[in-house]
Amino acid sequence: MSDLEKLIDNLARSQPPRRAPASLQGRVFAQISAQPWWRRGFSHWPMPARAAFLVASLGFIKLALAGFMSVAEFVRSSDVAGVTALHRTGEAFSTTVSLGETVFHAIPATWLYAGAAVGFALYAVLFALGTFAYRTLYVQR
């Protein structure tokens, strides 16, 4: 950074922050509050809309899983005659799922809850470290 750049930077940073005119601030807040509920955050939605969204989301998840399972069942069935590679892939997938289910049921529930709690705690620590790093490196006070 040259001396001129440093001088201009210091002058610009030393200026006091300017407030928006009251009329502009009022108009901006009026525009924000005039937005329809579906353009605002999820927490501003009416309760029936939130419930409908959650029900629809669960329905789409169930539909996607049912579609995936029907495709897997079709591949595993004998209707796909002559396509042995797909049939073997379906059997391998079914065996893998059965093995995973057996292992999952062999793990005590307490361990699963503890693992979920540890994973959540690690995620929270990662989020906190990211926030700390951002505030330390980029936010200038």
Condensed to tens digits (0 to 9), the pLDDT of residues 66-125 reads 998 888 777 666 555 556 777 777 788 889 999 989 998 999 999 999 999 999 999 999
Instruction: State the first-to-last Cα distance of the chain, in angstroms, to the nearest integer.
Output: 21
pTM of the model: 0.38
Q: Residue for token digits 């928006």?
A: 20
C-alpha to C-alpha distance for 122 and 102, rounded to whole angstroms: 27
C-alpha to C-alpha distance for 112 and 102, rounded to whole angstroms: 14
**Angle formed by the axes of helices 47-76 and 84-106, to 10°?**
120
Q: Is the model's pLDDT at 54 over the cut of 90?
A: yes
- pLDDT confidence of residue 102: 92
